[in-house]
Structure 1
Amino acid sequence: MSEAASTRTPVALLPSLSPLLREWLPRQRWFAGKGHPVTGFALVAAVELLPVDSAGPGLLHLLLRVRQPGQTLGLRTTAGRAPSALRDAAAGGDCYQLLLGVRAAVPPHLAPALIGRVAEGPLAGRTVYEGLHDPRLAGLLLERLRTPGRFGPLRFERAAPVPGGLRARVLDAEQSNSSLVYGDSLILKIFRRVYPGINPDLELPLALARAGCGRVPAPVAWFESHTPEPCTLGVLQPFLRGSQDGWRLALKALADGDDFTGEAQALGRATAEVHTALAAALPTVTLSGSQTRHLATAMNERLDAALRAVPALLPYVRGLRAAFDAIAGATFDGDGRAQRIHGDLHLGQTLRTPGGGWSVIDFEGEPARPLDERRRVQPPVRDIAGILRSFDYAARSYRPWNPAWAARCRAAYCEGYADASGSDPRAEAELLRAYETDKAVYEVVYEARHRPDWLPVPMSAIQRLAGPAG
């Protein structure tokens, strides 16, 4: 299909799809606006990756800004340019990437992917469905990645040869994004909520690959959009077949009564290797007093919001603020550095390969935070605090609660990190305590909203961290 045909129906297309998408989008696991009605859409870009007017299935790629209460679309256009709807997320709501299959009728094996039948417009009488569940359409994405180049506003890039003919399947475990596994050898992560700029899940693994760090699967290919700002849409990486994530391994060790300190120590070494490689590949800074004041202020502001949402935190507020205020204006010798980090590290973001080594995955950071914030340099202890909290969660997930198991794993992890980096994170006790506290406050709000039965897990950490010794 020619590039000219790739955007021939954007004006009429959106009104015809809106009734279907208004019902379908809020039911998707990766849709961030659950609990609020969809009140409008703005089409950022539309591309027919496979023509929708042929006898077979078509594949329609959309970038769609979704409006919900309290948001305005606020689109701006300039002559000869696409709307700059990606530029200001706050003004226009979240922008989502959709890959829609289009057929005259959906065969039975694709029935679970059904979105609906279009009543009017350029797709009138056609059936629309989630295209990633169609092996033929998912295979088309792999073919595009095999042959780099532009396709309308989309650009496909490749860092290594990509094999063809691999059958695709959707990975059900994804939450905030979607992933396709090709023949048990490659995995394509498709970012659902997109922002202008390079996604850290492409940027950091590329930097680590250049630095020779083998702890992170290196990107094989990726694709992006220029609408007009570049934004990362998907990354193809090796699929670590037979690997198990750290969360499931920890729960199994608890259930079997097995010691996990050896694994925790090895994971600490792997984390240190990733941090060391990132520090060598990308800029670092030494934390100044003004920067630590900013950190403490932001943590206190998040605590203020949490107190309004979860009054159960009120008895501990003095101790929690003390943990944050202890770093305000502080300077750190030697190891008080800020650098690029993972940003959302926990046991579920780690994989132990069949050979027994640990890998770190999913460098996207916290999807709810703005992309520029996720790309800032931060102290490495933020990642360490995430893993320490994850050990605590694992110990609490298995009854009876085993706090001694968590304590041993936390200590072993820090020892492994120190062995590989030459810097023990426990030496930065105040900074580590502040980040653990900040993470626990976030967990309290999350559990109160989504899983009230789990609220005692972070509340036990709140009690510990708010104490005099932290």
Structure 2
Amino acid sequence: MSGPISAVPCPPTWPDDAALLPALEAWMGQRRWFPLKGEPLQGPLSIVRRWELADGVHDLLVAVPRAEGEPVLMHVPLVLESAAALADFTAVGEADGNAGFILPYPDTAVADRSAVQVALVDGAHHPRFWRAWAQAALAAGTTLGKAGAAAIAQRADRLRVTTAEQSNTSVVMPAPGDNPAAGDADAATGDLIVKLFRVLAPGRNPDVEVSVALARNGWERVRTPVAWTTQTWTDPDSGVEQSADTAVACTFIPRADDGFELFCALAGADDLNGPQRRRSLALARDLGETTAQMHAHLAAAMGTTPPPVPAELAAALRARADWAMAEVPELEIRLPSLRARVETVLTELAALDRLEPATRVHGDYHLGQVLNAVDEGCWYVLDFEGEPLRPLAERSRPGQPLRDVAGMLRSFDYAAEVGHASHPDWLNAVRGAFLDGYWAARPAAVNGGGPGRDSKRTTLLNALELDKALYEAVYEARNRPDWLSIPLHGMEVILTT
């Protein structure tokens, strides 16, 4: 675009869709949270619903057409700003462009439109969006008390967008500390974190539904939700009214170690029989116990259902394996006879006489979803949204608790590789400690569970861990091809034990 950029202090006009949508498509396609990177779109974007939360603050539901299946519904809040102000909303260390994008000024009264620009700021980065969001939650009554939402409105100017790579966007809303000017709710409420969901599907988001249920059930190892929002729209094809959760605010644990970073550091500093190894094993065992507690509270808060027969589960895992091998043809090149070896594992699963009762599970359980609180020395579990590549209905379905166990075992593989484990037996040692903690806590924790592991549970766990590794291969091929070797190595180990 030629010509100098003219700052527009208060842009009065929201851009029309003809100007907005092409720029929005180019911007979304480069964001970490966009799920269709590398996949050509099958037509232009369209806006399914526009909620105007405040003047110049629009919450958009955008349909992204794809080659097969239904369009992907993207949640994109935007705030109209002057072009010169865009840089003010970019967090330190954040990827270029994350805060928003520039497009021509839409006012036809401006003679030289090519010389004037405005910005559309990603709502997650803008205080005006969060103040409007908090007011919407208060008005809808989607809170556990009013103080949390009121605090967000008061502290929006202090927001901090996290820079971690993820499929959603998280924003920290810190408490005021000793700030005497803070309002009542602000001063009385601890640190908060708000998660903005990017891909929406009709129905409750598991991260909101499950977190609220666990908090009401009294489990203290989950961040307590204080407010959330649900938006409603009409499906353009069927005319059916639909709704989905769009964001949730929870209590934040500021002095805590990320589980993945912690175990990566311990792997690299491992001293075999020294204090670092002992700490690794103690933390892994405690995490196993916490996992069993999580499954107990999920069963108590959300109930259990009869499990599928083993052959049905094997058939579902077979379909997922076929999907992964079709998505990543390199798998069968790098692992000879992979399809036949997968079938052997699934045949063993199908031959079991029964499975244990199904419950709601975490669904995407790994070291990046847990925090170790520095002051309390205990684990907290985060993010119950489930695997982002799976359909929402599948993520919300009750399943076998050992699916979460399999996910965490796979995550230890990642920590060993990324952390450059100093000793080759570190991985087996921490995996074993985690399982010891889980099995020891499980008898009193899981409805229908018995003590310890047995051959049936080992067969099920192997099948679920293989399923997780195949899913990881698809994710890595799409997002981090240099990491594809990690799930490949995991599959090789699972298939040869």
Alpha-carbon distance in 2 for matches of 1:390, 1:134 = 30
TM-score (norm 2): 0.79
Alpha-carbon distance in 1 for matches of 2:227, 2:174 = 16
Tell me the residue number matched to 1:426. Answer: 453
Say if 1:49 and 1:60, in contact at 8 Å, map to a contact too: yes
Say if 2:264 and 2:420, in contact at 8 Å, map to a contact too: no
Deviation at residue 294 of structure 1 after TM alignment: 1.9
Tell me the residue number matched to 1:22. Answer: 25
Q: Give the partner amino acid of 1:421.
A: R
Tell me the residue number matched to 2:185. Answer: none
| Alignment CA distance shift 1:307-1:179 (3 Å) | closer
Say if 2:124 and 2:169, in contact at 8 Å, map to a contact too: no
Q: Give the partner amino acid of 2:391.
A: P
Whether 1:339 and 2:368 are equivalent positions in the alignment is no
Identify which of 159, 164, 168 aligns with 2:144.
Answer: 159
Deviation at residue 128 of structure 1 after TM alignment: 3.0
Q: How does 1:276-295 map to 2 (within 5 A)?
A: 276-289=296-309, 292-295=310-313
Deviation at residue 295 of structure 1 after TM alignment: 1.5
| Alignment CA distance shift 1:307-1:233 (3 Å) | closer
Tell me the residue number matched to 1:76. Answer: none
Tell me the residue number matched to 2:469. Answer: 440
Secondary structure of the residue aligned to 2:299 is: helix
Alpha-carbon distance in 1 for matches of 2:223, 2:368 = 16
Q: Give the partner amino acid of 1:165.
A: Q
* RMSD between superposed Cα atoms in Å: 2.5
Secondary structure of the residue aligned to 1:96 is: strand
Alignment deviations for residues 115-138 of structure 1 (CA, whole Å, 9 cap, x no partner): 122454899966232233654324
Alignment deviations for residues 148-201 of structure 1 (CA, whole Å, 9 cap, x no partner): 22xxxxx46211222252221111114211111111500110001111111000
Q: Give the partner amino acid of 1:136.
A: P
The gaps in structure 1 that reach 5 residues or longer are 1-8, 52-57, 72-89, 150-154
The gaps in structure 2 that reach 5 residues or longer are 1-12, 91-96, 176-190, 234-240, 271-275, 444-449
More deviation, 311-320/134-143: 134-143
Tell me the residue number matched to 2:198. Answer: 192
Q: Give the partner amino acid of 1:247.
A: F
Tell me the residue number matched to 1:131. Answer: 122
Alignment deviations for residues 431-468 of structure 1 (CA, whole Å, 9 cap, x no partner): 0010011112223343345444333322222222212x
Identify which of 236, 240, 254 aligns with 2:253.
Answer: 240
Alpha-carbon distance in 2 for matches of 1:273, 1:405 = 25
Tell me the residue number matched to 1:181. Answer: 172
Tell me the residue number matched to 2:63. Answer: 65
Q: How does 1:24-39 map to 2 (within 5 A)?
A: 24-38=27-41, 39=43
Whether 1:96 and 2:87 are equivalent positions in the alignment is no
Secondary structure of the residue aligned to 1:466 is: helix
Say if 2:267 and 2:421, in contact at 8 Å, map to a contact too: no
Say if 1:391 and 1:406, in contact at 8 Å, map to a contact too: yes
More deviation, 272-281/395-404: 395-404
| Alignment CA distance shift 1:232-1:393 (3 Å) | same
Alpha-carbon distance in 2 for matches of 1:134, 1:439 = 33
Q: Give the partner amino acid of 1:324.
A: L
Alpha-carbon distance in 2 for matches of 1:119, 1:142 = 26
Tell me the residue number matched to 2:180. Answer: none
Say if 2:44 and 2:65, in contact at 8 Å, map to a contact too: yes
Alignment deviations for residues 2-26 of structure 1 (CA, whole Å, 9 cap, x no partner): xxxxxxx99x832231121121110
Deviation at residue 331 of structure 1 after TM alignment: 3.0
Alpha-carbon distance in 2 for matches of 1:121, 1:46 = 20
Secondary structure of the residue aligned to 2:16 is: helix
Whether 1:370 and 2:370 are equivalent positions in the alignment is no
Tell me the residue number matched to 1:225. Answer: 231
Say if 1:118 and 1:127, in contact at 8 Å, map to a contact too: yes
Alignment deviations for residues 269-297 of structure 1 (CA, whole Å, 9 cap, x no partner): 111111001111112124242xx222211
TM-score (norm 1): 0.83
Alpha-carbon distance in 2 for matches of 1:394, 1:285 = 34
Alignment deviations for residues 296-326 of structure 1 (CA, whole Å, 9 cap, x no partner): 1122223233344222233343332111111
Whether 1:325 and 2:347 are equivalent positions in the alignment is yes
| Alignment CA distance shift 1:104-1:400 (3 Å) | closer
Say if 1:275 and 1:380, in contact at 8 Å, map to a contact too: yes
Tell me the residue number matched to 2:316. Answer: 298
Deviation at residue 206 of structure 1 after TM alignment: 1.1
Alpha-carbon distance in 2 for matches of 1:445, 1:143 = 37
Secondary structure of the residue aligned to 1:196 is: coil
Tell me the residue number matched to 2:379. Answer: 358
Alignment deviations for residues 235-274 of structure 1 (CA, whole Å, 9 cap, x no partner): 0100111111110110111122221010001101111111
Secondary structure of the residue aligned to 1:237 is: strand
